[in-house]
Structure 1
């Protein structure tokens, strides 16, 4: 199962979409935009999982796509 994540950068000024928690795939100014992009990627490559972190790097939500 492929894993995607939405995480803030160091100072939470932008949000990164990562695949398998490696180098950022894409970066967004708004968290909602990053989540929308990551959801689309995860749905296209299902089965997959999306992990969404808050601005403190704490896991906030997990979404599975089958």
Structure 2
């Protein structure tokens, strides 16, 4: 199962979409835009999981796609 994540950069000025917790795939100014992009990618590569982090780097939400 592939794992995608949406995380803030270190000063929370941008949101990064990562695949398998490696280097960022894409960067967005808005968290909602990053989530929408990551969700689309995760749905296309199901089964997969999307982890969404808050600005304190804590998992805020987990979504599974099958």
Deviations 1:9-35 (A, max 9, x none): 000000000000000000000000000
TM-score norm. by structure 2 comes to 1.00
TM-score norm. by structure 1 comes to 1.00
Question: Any stretches of 5+ residues in structure 2 without a counterpart?
Answer: none
- Number of residues paired by the alignment? 66
Question: Any stretches of 5+ residues in structure 1 without a counterpart?
Answer: none
What is the DSSP-based 3-state SS (H/G/I as helix, E as strand, rest coil) of the residue aligned with 2:49? strand
Q: CA RMSD in A?
A: 0.2
